[in-house]
Amino acid sequence: MTDSKIILVTGASSGIGAAVAAHLAAEGHHVVAGARREDRLAGLADRVRDAGGSIDVRRLDVTDRADVAAFVDAAVAEHGRVDVIVNNAGVMPMSRLDALLVDEWDQMIDVNVRGLLHGIAATLPHFQRQGGGHFITMGSTAAHELVPTGAVYCATKFAAWAISEGLRLEVDPSIRVTTISPGVVESEIAETITDPAAAQAIKEYRAGGVISPDAIARAIAFAIGEPADVDVNELIIRPTAAR
């Protein structure tokens, strides 16, 4: 393994975020995990520590810019630096546009887009001061294909891809930027769908095969572990059966 890094993970209470936090801690990195559900974070911390890993947890609402800044600043104050931030927090309450679930549109924009921007804004000054760092954006294959009921969700994931690619083009080469774009993954994110038609559609879609969150964690570990002169810009990870 390469040198131990200080790695922040948002949306770490379940699914991909929890798997990423546990996997990176198992590789010897120190993880600072944030999410809204403190009981889930406590359970994650217990599992990681029982396995010999190093982790801190903190309640985090990525829609609150000041909260994200405090999350990052606290890690820097404690450890002197931050090497990687995995901007993972996301929601997916998909629905047809004519269902007019406008509050859910706002929720997706606030978490999936503004949450990402808040993570970048809080961390970029530290990376610039340090002379290096690594942004990991949790994208989706939804950024590359549109499905009925997915107009707003797909738009937020395309925005996440575009923001990350723009960031890569703008920052100093000492700062790496990676977008991870999973296909169908075992997680609770589909449980945020309240529209019955969309819920049934995603259930049928998932019947075609899903992959474990651990597959995404391994992909992130690969991107982080590459030498400093290698920038893994994007990884698209789907179930083998996906078409």
Q: Which residues does the annotation mark as catalytic?
A: 153
List of the chain residues with pLDDT < 70: 1-2, 189-190, 205, 207-208, 243
For 91-128, the DSSP string reads ------GGG--HHHHHHHIIIIIIHHHHHHHHHHHHHH
pLDDT of residue 199: 78
pLDDT at residue 33, as a whole number: 99
Phi, psi for residue 92 in degrees, rounded to 5: -145, 55
Name the phi and psi angles at 60, rounded to 5: -150, 130
Reply yes or no on domain 6-233 having CATH 3.20.20.70: no
Q: Using an 8 Å Cβ cutoff, are 72 and 82 in contact?
A: yes
What's residue 75's pLDDT? 98
Write down the pLDDT at residue 79: 98
Angle at 101 between CA 98 and CA 104, to 5 degrees: 140
Q: How many CB atoms lie within 10 A of CB 146?
A: 12
Q: Identify the pLDDT of residue 14.
A: 94
Using an 8 Å Cβ cutoff, are 134 and 173 in contact? no
Phi, psi of 52 (to 5 degrees): 90, 10
Q: Provide DSSP, 169-222.
A: HHS-TTEEEEEEEE-SBSSSGGGG---HHHHHHHHHHHTT--B-HHHHHHHHHH
Q: How far is Cα 135 from Cα 177, in angstroms, rounded to an integer?
A: 5
What pLDDT, on a 0 to 100 scale, did the predictor assign at position 203? 74
d(CA 87, CA 132): 17
Domain boundaries, the chain: 6-233
Residues in Cβ contact with 70 at an 8 Å cutoff, skipping those fewer than 6 apart: none
* pTM exceeding 0.85: yes
